Amino acid sequence: MVRLRTESFAPLLQLREEFDRVYKSLFRDGGGTPAGQSKASGIYPSLNIWEEADALKVEAELPGLKADDLDLTVLGSELTIQGRITPTPEGQTVHRCERPAGDFRRVVRLPIDVEGEKIVATLNNGVLLITLPKAAGAKPQKIKVNVG
C-alpha cells in the first residue's frame, strides 16, 4: 500500500492532515501485526465462508468490480474467483493510492461437495455472494431406526 506522508505534499498540498493517521500511529505502537502485513497480505479477495442447511455460502468484498469483469468457475471441489478491477484514472497528483486494483485470482478448496450446475452468484454494492447448493451426498440423511 502506498502511503504518502503529509510532508511530501509540498506546494501542491490539498490535504494537509488526515485525522486517521492518529489511529495508525496508535496501532503501530500498540503491538500486534504491523499495518500492511496481515496474514492475508497479497491474497485477494478476502472470503467469508459459511454453511447453511442445504448450501455453502462464499462471500467476498470486491468494490468497484463489474459483473462483466468477474469470472467464476467450479471444477471438482475447487472454486476459482478471478477478475479485474479497473484502476482509478491517474491524475496529475496522487495524494492517496490505497484501493486494490488490477487482475486478481483466488482458488479455494470447498469443504463439501456441491452441485456445480446449480451455483448462483450475485454482485450487489460490491459484495459478491456465491450460493453453492450441497450435493445430495453432502446433506445429512435422516436414518430411520426400526424397532425390532
Partner 1 sequence: MNTDVEKNVDKHNGNADVASIEYTRGGRYYRPRVDIVEREGDLTVLADMPGVGPDDVDVQFNDGVLTILGRVADRLPADTPYLSREYGVGDYYRSFQVSDQIDAQQISAEMANGVLTLHLPKAAAARPRKIAVAAK
CB proximity list for 148: less than 8 A, separation 6 or greater: none
Amino acid (1-letter code) at residue 47: L
Region 26-85 residues binding partner 1, contact defined as CB under 8 A: 26-27, 32-38, 40, 46-51, 56, 59, 61-66
What's the min distance (Å) between Cβ of 73 and partner 1? 19
CA angle 44, 48, 50 (to 5 degrees): 150
Which CB atom, from 38 or from 80, has the smaller least distance to partner 1? 38
Q: Does 138 bind partner 1 (CB under 8 A)?
A: no
**C-alpha cell belonging to residue 25:** 500511529
* Tally of CB atoms within 10 A around 14: 7
Q: How far apart are CA 78 and CA 61, in angstroms?
A: 19
For partner 1 (CB under 8 A), the number of binding residues is 54
Q: How far apart are CA 86 and CA 101, in angstroms?
A: 6
Which CB atom, from 89 or from 140, has the smaller least distance to partner 1? 89
Identified binder of partner 1 from the candidate list 17, 29, 68, 117, rule CB under 8 A: 17
Identified binder of partner 1 from the candidate list 76, 89, 102, 137, rule CB under 8 A: 89
**C-alpha cell belonging to residue 109:** 478448496
Residues in contact with partner 1 by CB under 8 A are 1, 12-20, 22-23, 26-27, 32-38, 40, 46-51, 56, 59, 61-66, 88-100, 111, 123, 125-127
